[in-house]
Amino acid sequence: MSNEHLGLAKKFKVNPSSCGGDGNLYEQKLVLTAQSQQYGDGSVIHVLLESDSNGEPQRIVGYISFVANGIDVPSGGDKIDSLPAIEIKTMAVDRDFERQGIGTLLLDYSIHVAIALRQNFIGVDFIITCAAESSVGFYSKYKKQPFVKLDDFFGNADMDDAPENDLDIPNNIPMILTLPK
C-alpha cells in the first residue's frame, strides 16, 4: 500500500458489529500502513479497490494482511513440530460493501496467495486466523472449504497439549484451514 492511498484509507469505515465491536483498530491499521508502508507487525496488506471508469481508485472496498506463521504441535516427549502456515493477520470490508461477497473474495485471494507460495517459494500447509466471535460463522461457512476452530481441528480435550501459536487475542477464536493439495 502506498501514500497515494492514504486519502482512500481515511475514508475506509468498518461496521463495529462485524469485527467484534472495534472497527477503529481495522481503520487505524489501514491508515498507519498507508503512511508508513508497513504496520509494524510484519504483515503485508493487500487492498481491494473500487475504481472509476478511467481506472482511477475511488475507494478501498476491503483489505487483507498476511504474515508467515506456524503452529507448534507436540510430537512426543519434549519434541515440538512446527506446521508451516500463513496467517490472516487482519481482514476487513468497508461497511458500505458488506454482504456483497467481498469477504469471500478476500478469502479466495488468501488461498491463491498461499498456494502460490507453496508451489513457488516456501512450504505452506495451512491458513490460520484469529476470528472475532462475530465472524466465526463467516469463516465456518466458507464455500470452498470451511475454516474450523483450532481446538476442533486437533481434537484436543486437554488444552495443555494444544498447538501453540501467537493467535492469543482476547475474545477471538483461533481458526485453521487446510490448503487443498
pLDDT in tens, 11-56: 888 887 776 666 567 777 777 766 665 556 677 888 899 999 999 9
CATH number at residue 132: 3.40.630.30
pLDDT (0 to 100) of residue 104: 95
Indicate the number of domains in the chain. Answer: 1
- Give residue 108's pLDDT: 95
Residue 157 CA to residue 54 CA, distance in Å, equals 56
Q: 178 pLDDT band (50/70/90 cuts)?
A: very high
- Per the prediction, the chain carries an average pLDDT of 81
Domain extent, residue 115, equals: 3-178
Say what the pLDDT of residue 45 is.
84
What does the pLDDT look like over 101-114, one tens digit per residue?
999 999 999 999 99
Q: Which three cell numbers stand for residue 124?
A: 505452506
How far is the C-alpha of 19 from the C-alpha of 68, rounded, in Å?
A: 22
pTM: 0.82
C-alpha neighbours within 13 Å on the C-beta side of residue 132: 16
What pLDDT does residue 33 have?
Answer: 66
Sheet of 80-93, strand order: 44-51, 57-74, 80-93, 126-132, 172-178, 148-149
Query: What average pLDDT does the segment 85-102 reach?
Result: 92
**Of 21-35, 114-128, 158-172, minimum mean pLDDT range:** 158-172
Find the mean pLDDT for residues 128-156: 85
Give the mean pLDDT of 77-103: 88
* pLDDT at residue 132 tops 90: no
Mean pLDDT of 136-156: 85
Lowest mean pLDDT among 37-46, 112-121, 138-147, 157-166: 157-166
> Residue 173 forms beta bridges with which residues?
131
- 171 or 9, greater pLDDT: 9
pLDDT at 162 over 50: no
